[in-house]
């Protein structure tokens, strides 16, 4: 959510930003905000005048009563009563107009960074840099579920009976590999100075509203029936929510945290053939990182966050690239975002394994996360997040890039201690 003062003073900038995000249907929201904001402020001004008049008249009544002018005092009381009814109506109007302003502001997208490429959807995303040499082996690489099956490592049929489509059982070495990657990622981030955290896996609606747009919520979140709780789609939601309604001491910034959690997503819509298996599912686990910092430090932390993911994948000998997200591919709260994509030798192309986002002060403004500076001034913090690793997709990249012609999967030196010292996995089929 952008600053209402900024919109008042720069409505054309806000309109142009909406156009850059290819959301022209939201253009009328700017005029609605201006209209209802003016009405709310007018109602407040008139209400303030009535309150001041009430205080003045109350003193006048007291003076008249002291002077024994009871009839005159009664007439003034009638005026106070009439004003009270009018004041109540103005207060109700002010509340209604402010709510309409808030509802509109919640739907207006954040102002994007000037460096963001302009485009309608992910087809206009721009490659930034490649890390590692992508290799296509001289043997055919099976689909990832077939590789897992060769280790008796996945069971979709049983999961379908238990929970339906979009779920799976991981077994044996594949399950161990999954856990090893998570544990390695945890320690990787701790070694980089991040505080480890296991957050709540459910959050209240007030936190949901604070961390994401309505469109994202509808497409992602599972609601707990009969309760004001949602299953998290990603742990940065509960991690950022940790600071809700807090006044932070500037001297304690930045907060750099890495969190483990399961994640739950509806994953609405049809998906392509390459998104079968464990690529797009309703439940998975993830290691995440978040930063809460001063506005002037957010660019620095944005670069640090995506570099962390790149460095982790490279330490596991997986080639990756970074991709700048264009304006139309940015969620409404994001100022700037880039995807980290891993190389798929089977597909001979890269695919998304993580997303790094700078949200400016949008989440902080919604959640009222403020900072008290050394000079006593208060301002909204900036928030950022990035995926360290999400094993379902990481497993795909890992298995494809470390598969040998005879079906074995090699274990990089960095991960071997987390696999009980194993240097390779040998298929049983």
Query: In this structure, is residue 183 part of a structural domain?
Result: yes
pLDDT of residue 67: 73
d(CA 227, CA 237): 18
Q: How confident is the model over 233-258, as pLDDT tens digits? A: 999 999 999 999 999 999 999 999 99
In angstroms, the CA 11 to CA 33 distance is 10
Q: Cβ distance 423 to 410 under 8 Å?
A: yes
On whether residue 16 sits in a domain, the answer given is yes
Report the SS3 class of residue 55: helix
Domain at 35, CATH number: 1.10.287.40
Q: Same structural domain for residues 76 and 132?
A: no
In this structure, the answer to whether residues 12 and 154 fall within a common structural domain is no
Query: In the predicted model, what is the mean pLDDT of residues 323-350?
Result: 97
Q: Are residues 66 and 211 in the same domain?
A: no
**Model pLDDT, residue 61:** 67
pLDDT exceeds 80 at position 323: yes
Residue 110 is assigned to a structural domain of this protein = no
End residue of a domain, out of 41, 73, 105: 105
pLDDT in tens, 348-360: 999 999 999 999 9
What is the average pLDDT value for the chain, to the nearest integer?
A: 92
Q: How many CB atoms lie within 10 A of CB 35?
A: 14
Do 306 and 233 have their domain in common?
yes
C-alpha dihedral over 197, 112, 361, 129, to 10 degrees?
Answer: 30
* 205 and 314, same domain (yes or no): yes
Please report whether residue 115 resides in a domain: no
For residue 116, is pLDDT > 90?
yes
How many structural domains does the chain have? 2
pLDDT tens for each residue of 398-417: 999 999 999 999 999 999 99
Judge if 199 and 299 occupy the same domain: yes
Query: Looking at the structure, do residues 101 and 126 belong to the same domain, yes or no?
Result: no
Residue 259: which H helix or E strand, with range?
A: strand 255-264
**396 part of a folded domain:** yes
Cα 144–147–148 angle (5° rounding)?
90
CB 328 within 8 A of CB 21: yes
For residue 273, what pLDDT band results from cuts at 50, 70 and 90? low
* Co-location of 134 and 25 in the same domain: no
Measured CA to CA, the distance from residue 9 to residue 27 in angstroms comes to: 16
How many residues does this entry show for the chain?
429
Domain boundaries, position 90:
4-105
What is the pLDDT, as a whole number, of residue 272?
A: 60
Residues 307 and 402 in one domain: yes
Residues 363-379 pLDDT 10s = 999 999 999 999 999 99
Enumerate residues 6+ apart whose C-beta is below 8 A from 178. Answer: 170, 285, 391, 395
Q: How many CA atoms lie within 13 A of 388 on its CB side?
A: 29
The answer to whether residue 22 is domain-embedded is yes
Name the percent of the chain lying above pLDDT 70.
94
């Amino acid at each position: 959510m952008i600053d209402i003062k900024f919109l008042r003073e720069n409505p054309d900038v806000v309109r142009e930003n909406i156009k850059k995000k290819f959301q022209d249907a939201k253009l009328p929201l700017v005029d609605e905000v201006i209209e209802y904001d003016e009405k709310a402020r007018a109602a407040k001004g008139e209400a303030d005048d009535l309150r001041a008049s009430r205080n003045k008249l109350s003193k006048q009544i007291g003076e008249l009563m002291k002077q024994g002018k009871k009839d005159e005092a009664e007439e003034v009381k009638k005026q106070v009563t009439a004003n009270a009814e009018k004041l109540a109506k103005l207060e109700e109007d002010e509340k209604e107009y402010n709510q309409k302003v808030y509802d509109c502001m919640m739907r207006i997208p954040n102002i994007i960074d000037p460096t963001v490429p302009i485009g309608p959807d992910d087809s206009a995303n721009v490659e930034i840099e490649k890390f590692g040499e992508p290799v296509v082996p001289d043997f055919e690489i099976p689909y990832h579920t077939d590789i897992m099956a060769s280790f008796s490592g996945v069971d979709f049929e049983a999961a379908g009976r238990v929970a339906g489509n979009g779920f799976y059982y991981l077994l044996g070495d594949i399950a161990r590999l999954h856990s090893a990657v998570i544990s390695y990622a945890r320690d990787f981030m701790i070694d980089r100075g991040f505080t480890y955290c296991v957050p709540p896996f459910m959050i209240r609606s007030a936190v949901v509203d604070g961390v994401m747009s309505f469109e994202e919520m509808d497409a992602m979140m599972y609601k707990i029936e009969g309760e004001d709780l949602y299953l998290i789609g990603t742990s940065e939601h509960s991690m950022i929510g940790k600071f809700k309604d807090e006044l932070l001491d500037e001297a304690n910034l930045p907060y750099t945290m890495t969190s483990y959690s399961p994640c739950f997503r509806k994953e609405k819509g049809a998906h392509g053939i390459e998104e079968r298996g464990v690529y797009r599912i309703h439940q998975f686990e993830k290691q995440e990182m978040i930063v809460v910092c001063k506005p002037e430090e957010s660019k620095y932390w944005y670069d640090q966050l995506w570099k962390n993911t790149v460095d982790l994948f490279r330490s596991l000998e997986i080639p990756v690239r970074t991709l700048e997200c264009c304006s139309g591919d940015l969620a409404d709260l994001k100022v700037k975002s880039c995807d980290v994509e891993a190389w798929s030798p089977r597909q001979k192309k890269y695919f998304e394994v993580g997303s790094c986002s700078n949200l400016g002060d949008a989440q902080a403004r919604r959640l009222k996360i403020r900072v008290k500076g050394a000079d006593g001034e208060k301002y909204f913090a900036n928030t950022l997040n990035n995926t360290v690793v999400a094993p379902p997709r990481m497993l795909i990249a890992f298995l494809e890039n470390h598969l040998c012609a005879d079906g074995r999967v090699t274990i990089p030196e960095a991960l071997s201690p987390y696999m009980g010292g194993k240097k390779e996995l040998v298929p049983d089929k």
